[in-house]
Amino acid sequence: MRFRRLEIRVQTSDGPYGVTLDFPDGLVLIWADNSMGKSTCVKAMLIALGMEAMLTTSQVELPIAPSVKTRLESPTGEHDVLESEVFLEIENAAKHRIVVRRAIKGSRDKNLITVYDGAALTATNSPGGSRDFFVNRAGAATRELGFHAYLAEFFGWELPAVRTYDGDERPLYFQCILPYLIVEQTRGWATTQPPVPTHFRLRDPNKRAVEFLLALDAHAVALKRQGLQAELARIDTVWRSQFAAAMEFAERTGGKIFELPSTPVATWPPTMAVAMVLPHGETWVDLEVRIVSMSAQLRELVENEIPRVKDISSSAQVELTQAELLVRDRQSLLSRLLDTLEMDRREIGAIAERLRAIDEDIQRNKDARVLTQLGSTQDLAFDKGSCPVCHQTIQDTLVPLEPDQAVMSLEESIAFLGEQRRTYGGVYENAKRELSSREKQVQSLRVEVSALRDRVRVLRQTLVSDGRGPSIAAIEERLRLDGSIRNLDAARAHFDTILESFAELARAWSTAQSQLNELPRVNVTTRDSEKISSWSAVLRDQLRDYGFASFKPDQAQISADSYRPEHDGFDLQNTISASDLIRTIWSYLKGMLELSRSVATNHPGFLIFDEPRQQSTKDFSFGKLIQRSADASAFHQQVIFFTSEDRNRLRSHLDGLPHTFYEIDGRVLKRL
Amino acid sequence: MEIPELNAMFLFRRRPVALPADLRPSWRIGLILLLLKVCCRRGRSTLTRLHALSWGIRAEQTRSALLAVVTGSLAHNGDVIVRFDPALNRAVDFALGEQLIRRCGGSRIELAPKGDALATALEAAEEAYQTEKIFMREIKQKFTEGLVDQLFSRSN
């Protein structure tokens, strides 16, 4: 991408003012004196591209000098600004030109940018069509009518998706990339890596911008890793909720599930088979086994024709006796269980009481600590372990102890009680679990007893009914079995679907895990580290050229992890002098430009520095920067400097170098 | 039988003993100061009333008993047995020694300026004596010396 022409037009009460600047390939210098409007030009270029977020977080005011917004100063005095606009003609790699136009002051919507197809500013022939795009609104970077979505297409850029702190994905915003290409004066010269707007809440915007500009693989790898980690987190959440649902289901059916892992596992089915069990008397029986045994009973009943009362009266008599025995047996078991249940409840109550006491004691120890702290300002003697009256040593206690018996300090006491609390907390949880399991047993036993009583009742009924009728007991038994089996079958079907969903999750878990393992350990690939090491080489080369003196330039390099310049593994920023910081910024950003000449990158091939000679960097260094930038034309790149250096010295630096030099005397914005 | 491991010198060391916090001088002195400040008019009390208050505030059951005495809702056949805690006497002695409280007349004690300042600081410290403060605010200064006399004549 190249800049071709900038036009600023300001309509004032004194008539039209403005400036026109052409930008050919190669090194372009624009000279004007201090505070005459150079930075206004740079800012106007940024605003034309909708990049004001680089300069401000305000959505209301465009960040530009008052001379184009409110009052313009000119040799003839101050004039009110009535309307102002900026036009920028740019050309992409395919030599296609467009003109963007944005109003700074006037009735037009400031968030609209009009794009004219063709070289509307430099060519005389009439432009092609025009379209309006918006900026500063949600979707400016993604939607079709968003200006930055359009600009990315014009640049031939496919902006990578990056993660935000809110967990969303957004395209890497233009406003995060352009600081690497355009260094604006008010904020750009303060840090080794350019300041990137943070209010978009993108994660690691600097890293992502470098990775994109230099077309590093690292971002793709990092993105993949992030995606996989998000997937693992998702599976974990789903697994946990499914686990809770499964436990709830077991609770509802009065059973328990054994060996179901509560957190995701990769091997499914687990080595210990997951099983659902139901209480049966004092023991637990597998659901499957229970269904099989009940089905067998039912089958036997169905196979035999329903007997007549007279045929079975003797066997029914026997059965009745058995059933009555069984009722008594179960009844006594139930009362035993109820006794234990009561004991369990009492124990839990005792533990809870104990926990309360411990908590209270902890609180009182803390109270005593507060008093000691408050009392220390009053210089109390007993805090120091001596009697306030006779000044003999005393123990920190109100009850007499054996001689030589030491007392725990307050802190020790609190720790000691905390430990006790943990232990009792564990015991309490355990007792609660046991209680709930016992309650389930009691419940199921009650159901069984009531079924048995029914049985006794129907057997009695059978025995007293007409001898020719069918046995009520046999019919009732069949119905009961049939109903229970149907219930258990439904439970089993549900349990199977639960298991199936876990199997699916386990498969997804194992796939994601293995994909994560296949990713390279660090995000940087070989191709990436080659790029970074040649970038480092270009950086060192320039530091030598520019006379970097804080340490030996050979020791500088660019971190493969943060992509920031480093010295011996430490960030440069805080260890170097202010002027060396400026040299580093030159070398770092220009290094990217130079790197793009030899390797494939996304660098658009231009660089704009607003007043590059900061912090009284030596004139010699600046001369070197100019010399080194002059070769830009040979690579069809563009380097634009806005400066107010001494004109004669500039001329001597430029002597014999290919360049374009504009000298603007007085104010940049002139009467047209 | 020879057990080589036992051929070592034995060393017995007394471990510090754990002590409930209400038996520590600092906790009890803080309680006395707060009781005098919140529950006693002009920061003055007889030792007997202080004993009754200190007994009443220390557990859930005694708290409800004391509250019943104060509100007069004690059942007719209800009997309240106030336990005198010798630890309180020691705490009072310490507080006297520290000049947090002082004797006043024959049988009464009152908050000294130093103790009053500490009690005010304790009242302001939100995290300290939470349960106790809630209770004190409930009975306010209603547990009067007269009630104390009634209480003891009743149990005698």
DSSP B101-138: EEEETTTEEEE-HHHHHHHHHHHH-TTSSHHHHHHHHH
Average pLDDT, chain A: 85
Q: State the pLDDT at residue B32.
A: 92
What number of helices (H) and strands (E) belong to chain A?
A: 14, 21
**Per-residue pLDDT tens over the stretch A370-387:** 877 777 666 676 666 777
In degrees to the nearest 10, what's the CA dihedral of A394, A395, A398, A400? Answer: -90
Percentage of the residues of chain A whose pLDDT score is greater than 70: 97
pLDDT at A215 over 70: yes
Lowest-confidence region among A371-380, A530-539, A611-620, A653-662: A371-380
Segment holding A534, helix H or strand E: helix A526-546
Q: State the pLDDT at residue A62.
A: 83
Q: State the Cα–Cα distance between residues A370 and A394, nearest whole angstrom.
A: 21
Q: State the Cα–Cα distance between residues B70 and A412, nearest whole angstrom.
A: 38
By Cβ distance, the residue of B27, B86, B88 closest to A371 is B27
Q: What DSSP string describes A171-235?
A: EPPHHHHGGGTEE-HHHHTSSSSPP---TT-BSSHHHHHHHHHTT-SHHHHHHHHHHHHHHHHHH
Q: State the pLDDT at residue A181.
A: 92
pLDDT at A608 over 90: yes
Q: State the Cα–Cα distance between residues A195 and A191, nearest whole angstrom.
A: 7
Structure tokens at A379: 């210089």
Q: State the Cα–Cα distance between residues A437 and A433, nearest whole angstrom.
A: 6
pLDDT at A401 over 70: yes
By Cβ distance, the residue of B15, B98, B127 closest to A366 is B127
* Mean pLDDT value across residues A554-577: 85
Residue A129: pLDDT band (50, 70, 90) is confident
pLDDT at A159 over 60: yes
A368 touches chain B (CB under 8 A): yes
Q: State the pLDDT at residue A641.
A: 92
Structure tokens at A417: 């009680």
Mutation target to probe the A interface, by most A beta carbons within 10 A, among B24, B37, B116, B131 is B24
Question: Do residues B79 and B65 lie in contact, with contact meaning Cβ atoms separated by under 8 Å?
Answer: no
Mutation target to probe the B interface, by most B beta carbons within 10 A, among A361, A367, A384 is A367
**Per-residue pLDDT tens over the stretch B1-47:** 677 777 777 777 777 888 888 888 888 998 999 999 988 888 889 98
Q: Which residues contact A498 (CB under 8 A, 6 or more apart)?
A: A242, A245, A246, A249
Chain-centre distance of CA A615, in angstroms? 39
A410 touches chain B (CB under 8 A): yes
A244 touches chain B (CB under 8 A): no
Residue pairs between chains A and B whose CB atoms are closer than 8 Å: 109
Lowest-confidence region among A420-424, A570-574, B85-89: A570-574
Q: Between chains, do A371 and B128 touch, taking CB under 8 Å as contact?
A: yes
Q: Would the pTM of this model clear 0.80, i.e. be above it?
A: no
pLDDT at A1 over 50: yes
Q: State the pLDDT at residue B75.
A: 62
**Per-residue pLDDT tens over the stretch B96-150:** 888 889 888 877 898 998 888 888 888 888 888 888 888 998 888 888 888 888 8
Q: State the Cα–Cα distance between residues A109 and A59, nearest whole angstrom.
A: 13
Shortest Cα distance, chain B CAs vs residue A354, angstroms: 13
Output B152 or A50, whichever has higher pLDDT: A50
By Cβ distance, the residue of A366, A398, A406 closest to B91 is A398
3-state secondary structure of A628: helix
